[in-house]
Amino acid sequence: MNKRVVITGMGAITPIGNNVQEFWKGIKQGKCGIDKITLFDVTNHKAKLAAELKGYNPEEYFDVKQARRMDRFCQLAMVASREAFKDSGINKENTDMTRVATIIASGMGGLSTIEEQNKNLVLKGPDRLSPMYIPMGITNIAAGNVAIDLGLKGESFCIVTACASGTHAIGEGMRLIRHGYQDVVLAGGAEAAITPTGIAGFANLKALSQSTDPKRASIPFDKERNGFIMGEGAGVLVLEELEHALKRGAKIYAEVVGYGASSDAYHMTSPSPDGEGGARAMVNAIKDASLEPEQIDYINAHGTSTPLNDKTETMAIKLALGNHSKKVMVSSTKGNTAHMLGAAGAVEAIVCANALQEGYVPPTIGYKVKDEECDLDIVPNEGRNVNIKYAMSNSLGFGGHNSSVILKKWE
């Protein structure tokens, strides 16, 4: 018999709030975290905007030596993980730490470290590379450092599926608990790719918006959308076996009831044009949760604001939900946070958990021009106070990686 999985802790650091409470407040206020890039000189760059963290100072969280030995993406993973772990109330007295797993995903890993050290190689020679280059740059190091920091001795690994990474981490974490391999999993994602090569690479791929107006840059499902805006941050959830959580009197935010994943097997960067791959991930999640499509109340869409994604995701939702697609509420919160790549799915799962708990469906902000090809109920500009029972979160990544998770309101 499958074990039930609940969320007992959450942590986040985002462009609209440096903890879960601030982040959710920003969502409800319709706050947009997009502005001019300040982390480096963008004079010669096509894309000038991003959603950077506001007021983040590593020295408020780490000593100087510790901060210098971690890439920015790893720092953010640690900040969100510490918040989630503290929030959960788990400790050595109430939990066997050998049965607590760590799955911290990332799409790009230590990009700023790789850039910096490559400059040293070219300009100063191989002997001038930092001995910390490899342990700072590798993508799995966030999971490793979080496990070390919190003393988590269960399974520890990293999932890299581009923009689907964070959702895959939650889904695979759920499976570890459901099938009895672990009691608790810290699952989430972290990203810090607002760097010269990160911005130039996505811009030259023609994936980034070159808009100079922060309010009209990340505009999911709007007919005038022209690319995504890069965001940075991290989101981490504590997943826990239900009986374990009840036994220690934990507070419960929501239940994770379904997970589905699929591959487009179509193209390196473009989604399958009929939305079939994304639809299969959603259908798989609905079946995994033993639900009917009509029971899904809200979908937090991948909704990146690229012409292809929003069109094909609309098609995918229609394929997966059939006639119910006309009724289901669908919004993208990337107008608030921009696209946090491998962290997006984890942060958006936190949105879903809060939406279920508070009975509030967040809007798709910045929406002005209707697109006939994106004709779902996208909750434009104004959130809705409505009681919902099931929320689905979608993530679709380069390489054709699709993942969906379904959360249920805890009652």
Catalytic residue numbers read 163, 302, 339
Nearest to 77 by CA among 184, 197, 159: 159
Got the DSSP string for 12-78? EEBTTBSSHHHHHHHHHTT----EE--SS--TT-S--EEB--SS--GGGTS-HHHHHTS-HHHHHHH
Identity at 221, one-letter amino acid code: F
Q: Could you tell me the strand order of the sheet in which 184-191 lies?
A: 156-157, 100-105, 184-191, 233-241, 5-13, 254-263, 401-409, 390-397, 298-300, 329-331
Nearest to 149 by CA among 58, 193, 86: 86
> Which sign does the torsion angle of CA 83, 99, 155, 92 carry?
positive
* C-alpha to C-alpha distance for 73 and 233, rounded to whole angstroms: 7
* C-alpha to C-alpha distance for 43 and 201, rounded to whole angstroms: 16
Interacting residues of 120 by C-beta distance below 8 A, sequence separation 6+: 128, 129, 130
Whether 407 and 390 have beta carbons less than 8 Å apart is answered as yes
